[in-house]
């Protein structure tokens, strides 16, 4: 019985590690920005939505696993990453890489078969952007890493849109840009709080290279671009009044939060608030799009 119990415990631990490699908490928001555009674009079947959900999870999870493989030499230097499967010694690096590639390959075939080739290509484009442009190239070489490399996180709306329509049009492009400009203030709020960790790992995040004040100013500039950008789809008739009101209120709250970070004598608490709210902001913004289209 003892050996059986130990085997079951090891199996559960291994399964938990496989799930941890995919970073499910991060993927949850990516899936919102994948699935919501499907309902903005049209009336997808539940089979298509399920396939895109599973394919999107596998592709993003595969990218996260490969990211952990590539960052295995610095993860043990940072408190928030040293318990990951590779630095903790629970999994071999080669096994993590194989798992990530397997997830991405499975996702590619699933999306191409159930949706279309464009959907699979866009999902794969996000995978390569995250793995090679962000993780491999920019993360350790430039404070612009999250700006350019962060474009990987803007691919999900394109994936969802293409799955329903088979093409990319103007509104899909706006959805891409919304996430692109949302990413810097969202991530830099966290970078302000975790800059010591990044310093120990030798990662040139913005607060370490530009300084805290310049990082905050850049957060403000990106937010000032983001807020009017979220309103533009209303100007050309793609979305309506309900979305306009929601986007304006959400954008105002996000902007106010960034301003509080800049004005605070101690930015720790307001920066953490901005980081948490920015997650809710994006989810609610995309939910507002779906509701607006549903009642139009």
pLDDT digits (tens, 9 = 90+) for 43-57: 999 999 999 999 999
* Band of residue 75 on the pLDDT scale cut at 50, 70, 90: confident
Residue ranges, CATH 1.10.357.140, the chain: 11-168
Share above pLDDT 70 across residues of the chain, in percent, rounded to a whole number:
96
| Least-confidence region, from 26-40, 87-101, 136-150, 187-201 | 136-150
Report the distance separating Cα 219 and Cα 199, nearest Å. 20
pLDDT for residue 285 is more than 70: yes
CATH number of 11-168: 1.10.357.140
Q: Give the lowest-confidence range in 11-20, 23-32, 156-165.
A: 11-20
As a whole number, mean pLDDT of residues 151-179 equals: 95
Cα(152)–Cα(258) distance, rounded to whole angstroms? Answer: 23
| Range(s) within the chain of domains with CATH label 1.20.120 | 175-296
CATH topology of domain 175-296: 1.20.120
Mean pLDDT of the chain: 92
What is the C-alpha to C-alpha distance for residues 196 and 208, in angstroms, rounded to an integer? 9
- Own/partner pairs for 113-116, CB < 8 Å, 24+ apart? 114/47, 114/48, 114/51, 114/52, 114/55, 115/48, 115/51, 115/52, 115/55, 115/162, 115/163, 116/162, 116/163, 116/166
pLDDT at 1 over 50: no
Predicted local distance difference test score (pLDDT) of residue 148: 84
Residue with tokens 């938990």: 16
| Largest distance between two CA atoms of the chain | 68
| Dihedral pair phi/psi, residue 173, rounded to 5° | -65, -40
Give the mean pLDDT of 59-80. 90
What CA–CA distance (Å, rounded) separates 248 from 68?
37
Q: Please give the structure tokens belonging to residue 36.
A: 């919501």
Residue 31 has φ and ψ, to the nearest 5°, of -70, -35
Residue 82's pLDDT band (cuts 50, 70, 90): confident
Instruction: Tokens for 43, please give them.
Output: 């009336």
Percent of the chain with pLDDT over 90: 76
Contacts of 110 (CB under 8 A, 6+ apart): 51, 54, 55, 58
The pair of structure tokens assigned to 116 is 């279309």
Q: Look at residue 10 in the predicted model and tell me its pLDDT.
A: 56
Run of H or E residues at 58: helix 46-70
For range 136-161, the mean pLDDT: 90
* Cβ atoms of residues 143 and 180 within 8 Å: no
Query: Which residue carries 């050996």 as its tokens?
Result: 3
> What's the whole-model pTM score?
0.92
- Give Rg (Cα) of the chain: 20
Place of tokens 């810097």: 184
Is 80 exceeded by the pLDDT of residue 155? yes
Looking at residue 50, what is its pLDDT? 98
pLDDT of residue 296: 74
Q: Hey, what are 253's tokens?
A: 């709250």
**H-helix or E-strand spanning residue 279:** helix 268-295
- How many Å apart are CA 107 and CA 103, to the nearest integer? 6
């Amino acid at each position: 019985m003892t050996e059986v119990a130990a085997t079951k415990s090891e199996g559960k631990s291994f399964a938990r590690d496989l799930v941890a490699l995919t970073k499910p908490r991060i993927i949850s928001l990516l899936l919102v920005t994948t699935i919501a555009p499907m309902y903005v674009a049209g009336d997808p079947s539940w089979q298509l939505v399920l396939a895109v959900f599973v394919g999107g999870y596998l592709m993003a999870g595969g990218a996260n696993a490969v990211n952990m493989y590539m960052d295995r030499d610095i993860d043990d230097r940072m408190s928030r990453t040293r318990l990951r499967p590779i630095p903790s010694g629970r999994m071999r690096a080669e096994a993590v890489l194989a798992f990530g590639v397997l997830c991405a390959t499975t996702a590619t075939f699933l999306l191409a078969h159930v949706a279309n080739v464009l959907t699979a290509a866009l999902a794969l484009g996000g995978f390569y952007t995250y793995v090679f442009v962000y993780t491999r190239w920019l993360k350790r070489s430039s404070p612009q890493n999250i700006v350019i490399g962060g474009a990987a996180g803007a691919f999900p709306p394109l994936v969802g849109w293409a799955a329903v329509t088979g093409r990319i049009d103007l509104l899909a492009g706006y959805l891409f840009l919304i996430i692109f400009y949302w990413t810097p203030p969202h991530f830099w709020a966290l970078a302000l709080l975790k800059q010591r960790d990044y310093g120990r790992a030798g990662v040139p995040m913005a607060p370490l290279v530009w300084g805290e004040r310049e990082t905050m100013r850049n957060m403000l500039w990106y937010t000032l671009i983001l807020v009017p950008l979220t309103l533009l789809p209303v100007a050309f008739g793609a979305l309506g009044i309900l979305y306009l009101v929601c986007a304006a209120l959400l954008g105002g709250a996000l902007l106010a939060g960034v301003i509080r970070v800049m004005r605070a004598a101690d930015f720790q608490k307001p920066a953490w608030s901005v980081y948490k709210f920015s997650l809710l902001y994006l989810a609610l913004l995309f939910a507002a799009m779906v509701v607006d289209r549903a009642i139009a």
